[in-house]
Amino acid sequence: MPHGKPVAPGVATAIRELRGHLGWSQSQLAAEVCRVSGRDTVTRETVSR
């Protein structure tokens, strides 16, 4: 959601920590979100916001 409200800092921190625990990059997380959601519009840039 590139034009939506920014994510609360606590949520962003939790996502970043989970990504680190899994050893995933932002691109890998975006690809997995696309896979499970059935949408192909999630990108690394979306994940980083």
32 in a structural domain: yes
**10 contact partners, CB below 8 Å, separation of at least 6:** none
Maximum pairwise Cα distance, the chain = 28
pTM score, two decimals? 0.64
CA 27-5-19 angle, to 5 degrees, is: 30
31 in a structural domain: yes
**34 contact partners, CB below 8 Å, separation of at least 6:** 40, 41, 42
3 in a structural domain: no
6 in a structural domain: no
Give me the number of domains the chain comprises.
Answer: 1
Residue-wise pLDDT tens for the chain (49 aa)?
Answer: 445 667 778 888 998 999 999 999 988 988 888 889 888 887 777 777 5
Q: Which domain holds residue 43?
A: 25-49
19 in a structural domain: no
| Residue ranges in the chain assigned as alpha helix (H) | 9-22, 26-37, 44-48
38 in a structural domain: yes
13 in a structural domain: no
Q: What 8-state DSSP symbol labels residue 8?
A: P
